Chain A
Amino acid sequence: MDKNIPQEIERFDLSVRIQHIIMFTTFLLLSFTGWGLKYAYVQPSSAWITIWGGAKVAGIIHRVAGIIMLMDFVYHQFYLLNLARKKDLRLTIVPMPKDVIDAFHNFMYFFGFRKERPYFGKFNYMQKFDYWAVYWGMFIIGSSGLFLAFPVTASMLFPAFTTQWIWDILFIMHSDEALLAIVFILIFHFYNEHLRSEVFPMNWMWLTGKMTIEQLKHHHPAEYDYLYGKDKKK
């Protein structure tokens, strides 16, 4: 192996790792407390909410966790701006037409029509999906949550013609999309980062931030070539 190529590479710096920890901690708190309210009429929701200190305390936990999560999200935007300022921001997470081709190739590979996984970049389309799902969640669940938490203030922002349906929509947005987020994380994210035979019981990158060069070459060949490839030396 080339001496210039390190053994492992940092994919997530400390700030991103902390952002992720705050994100999933608040996500779990929000899910646990919100679930009890969403399924209030399904037993044992009352008992479950009692574990969280009763309806009132669970409500406070939910609001505080929600605000911390939104702050984490806002902080992430500043983090990105700072990277851009330092000219360190590569748009590797932005969905590209190539992702559609990659997804098609990946399905070809699933069905055995291709021998190899697609030529993935730094982030494959599943990871991009994971990342942008958070934006969707923040936009839909975060905004509706804020409006529902401060309904009197929110009511001043909405035009009068919306009052007949806006609250129902906010409620449905918050509740249904939260379920989508929970199931998405439970199935997609958990499979990819916890249950996949390669990473079980978990992908330790959330703590170390590091990936070995072998893994990079294997899972993100386009990124490997970008960094260490023959044609595109950094």
Chain B
Amino acid sequence: MLLLFTFLLVPGAGAATDSATCFGCHGSMEGDVKVEQEKYSKSVHGSFDCVTCHMAPKGDQHQGLGGAAPDKSVKELAASLAHKSTKDPIAQSACITCHPDLYEAYKKSVHGQNVITKKSTDGPVCTNCHGSPHYIQARPSAESKVHLFNVVESCGKCHEEKHMSEKYGFSPLVMERYLESFHGRKLKLGHAGAPSCASCHGSHDIKSAKDPSSPVGNLENKKKTCSECHSGATEKFVAAITHKPLHPIAHWSEIGLILLTVGTFIFIIIHVLLDIYADIRDRLFRKGGNH
């Protein structure tokens, strides 16, 4: 009888564990081991069994649980991600089983190089940009972390960090200058044609802007990238966007214009207030006078 029970609860090696088994615990646990079953089922991968990605869950509590044996490429990636993904590097690497082309692009990107080759903890793996794998949505969904209107925020998680800009040599104002630009403002207001970070810099295959192979890495590529929206973009045109701090000439022009604006405000406000005062005074004390 006991044997039968054990047999039912713990399926034998080779047989994939049913998701219901996992949710039996993880559906009601607290903290980051909790997975909301309903939300999970609505994600783009909601029909997957847990063990599709969590092929070999760690720990005694998971003994006998698991799915298909991870293939070689997943194992290799898991080994290279072990420094960054401590919980379940196999699951973290499982994306590549179905998305090998994106993995190939990512592996060569500045992000992938940093994580996989340089073994840095900086730089994103899939879930850093796409959000929790349990609730992942396709990019056209407004809930997707990489949706046109959300991706800037996702990039900003690292790219507005000062220590990141110092370490990797990008402009510390890259986010600020983008957000205040026409591109950033239009995107904020929901203009579907406005470019996000990824529109110009690429996504899975992203390169450092200092890398000549980046879509913004050299003059010719810049011209090509800008031309996608601004046909006929020239050398002088592509210089418009740098994400660098304001040039001193622009900075002092701005201050000049602000002084002019504030000066005019003060003058007209005083003028109008005095006018109101004189009007009231004349009506009260100089009846039949000037008004």
- Interface positions, chain B 259-290, Cβ under 8 Å from A, are 260-261, 264-265, 268-269, 271-272, 274-279, 281, 283, 289-290
Interface flags, B36-63, vs A, CB<8A=1, else 0: 0000000000000000000000000000
Partner among A115, A151, A179 whose Cβ is within 8 Å of the Cβ of B290: A115
Partner among B189, B193, B250, B277 whose Cβ is within 8 Å of the Cβ of A172: B250
B9 at interface (Cβ–Cβ under 8 A)?
Answer: no
Partner among A55, A151, A164, A183 whose Cβ is within 8 Å of the Cβ of B190: A55
A110 touches B261 (CB 8 A): no
Task: Determine chain B's interface SS by DSSP, over half rule.
Answer: helix
A197 touches B193 (CB 8 A): no
A188 touches B231 (CB 8 A): no
Interface flags, B238-267, vs A, CB<8A=1, else 0: 011110001111100110011011001100
Partner among B185, B231, B265, B278 whose Cβ is within 8 Å of the Cβ of A110: B278
B250 touches A41 (CB 8 A): no
Interface flags, A51-88, vs B, CB<8A=1, else 0: 00011101100000000000000000000000000000
Interface flags, B219-245, vs A, CB<8A=1, else 0: 000000000001111111101111000
The residue among B188, B230, B249, B268 with the most chain A CB atoms within 10 A of its own CB is: B268
Find chain A residues with CB under 8 A from B254 CB: 168-169, 172, 176
CB proximity of B231 to chain A, nearest CB, Å: 7
B291 at interface (Cβ–Cβ under 8 A)?
Answer: yes
Closest to A56 in B: B191
B201 at interface (Cβ–Cβ under 8 A)?
Answer: no
A203 at interface (Cβ–Cβ under 8 A)?
Answer: no
A187 touches B272 (CB 8 A): yes
A169 touches B253 (CB 8 A): yes
Bound-complex Cα distance A152 to B233 (A): 6
Interface flags, A161-190, vs B, CB<8A=1, else 0: 001110111011100110110011001100
B272 touches A37 (CB 8 A): no
A169 touches B249 (CB 8 A): yes
- Contact (A37, B247) CB under 8 Å given A179-B261, A196-B279: no
Partner among A155, A168, A177 whose Cβ is within 8 Å of the Cβ of B250: A168
Bound-complex Cα distance A188 to B230 (A): 40
Size of B's binding interface in residues, CB under 8 A: 53
- Contact (A197, B182) CB under 8 Å given A40-B188, A152-B230, A191-B272: no
Partner among A37, A126, A164 whose Cβ is within 8 Å of the Cβ of B189: A37
- Interface positions, chain A 101-127, Cβ under 8 Å from B, are 107, 109-112, 115-117, 126
A45 touches B261 (CB 8 A): no
B179 at interface (Cβ–Cβ under 8 A)?
Answer: yes
A56 touches B257 (CB 8 A): no
A183 touches B265 (CB 8 A): yes
Bound-complex Cα distance A58 to B191 (A): 10
Closest to A172 in B: B254
Bound-complex Cα distance A74 to B279 (A): 37
Closest to B177 in A: A168
- Contact (A158, B236) CB under 8 Å given A112-B281, A117-B290, A173-B257: yes
A156 at interface (Cβ–Cβ under 8 A)?
Answer: yes
B277 touches A110 (CB 8 A): yes
Find chain A residues with CB under 8 A from B200 CB: none
B194 at interface (Cβ–Cβ under 8 A)?
Answer: yes
B102 at interface (Cβ–Cβ under 8 A)?
Answer: no
A residues lining the B interface (CB < 8 Å): 36-37, 40-41, 45-46, 49-50, 54-56, 58-59, 107, 109-112, 115-117, 126, 148, 151-152, 155-156, 158, 160, 163-165, 167-169, 171-173, 176-177, 179-180, 183-184, 187-188, 191, 196-198
10 nearest CB pairs, A to B = A55-B191, A163-B239, A165-B247, A155-B237, A168-B250, A110-B274, A40-B185, A55-B189, A165-B250, A180-B261
B residues lining the A interface (CB < 8 Å): 179, 181-182, 184-186, 188-194, 230-237, 239-242, 246-250, 253-254, 257-258, 260-261, 264-265, 268-269, 271-272, 274-279, 281, 283, 289-291
